[in-house]
Amino acid sequence: MRFWLRDLRLNNQMSQKDVANLASVDVTTINKIELGERRPSPETAKKIAAVLGFDWVKFFEDENELTKTGTDGEI
């Protein structure tokens, strides 16, 4: 699960639907990306990052962390 993405979205007081609408992607895409069930394409990563204000490459930097982290996000 991408806890950092969910936390960033919530800190911006946005729902998954809000992010999806602003990024022009389906809400199920946002959900699956947050859950770690789907990796975004670079194009989708850039759209989501633009909405939430972070560097889009973070999606690809955390790939290895998904397999190392526990449910609380700690390594």
Is residue 31 scored above 70 in pLDDT?
yes
Residues 6+ apart with CB under 8 A from 35: 1, 2
Q: Is residue 73 part of a domain?
A: no
Decide if pLDDT at 38 tops 70: yes
Our count of domains for the chain comes to: 1
- Domain hosting residue 26, numbered range: 3-68
The pLDDT value recorded for residue 74 is 42
Whether 33 contacts 60, CB under 8 Å: no
Query: Is residue 69 helix, strand or coil?
Result: coil
Q: Is residue 75 included in any domain, yes or no?
A: no
**What is the CATH number for 64?**
1.10.260.40
Window from 18-27, 41-50, 53-62 with minimum mean pLDDT: 53-62
**pTM given for the model:** 0.79
For residue 63, being part of any structural domain is answered with yes
Query: Cα-atom radius of gyration of the chain, to the nearest Å?
Result: 11
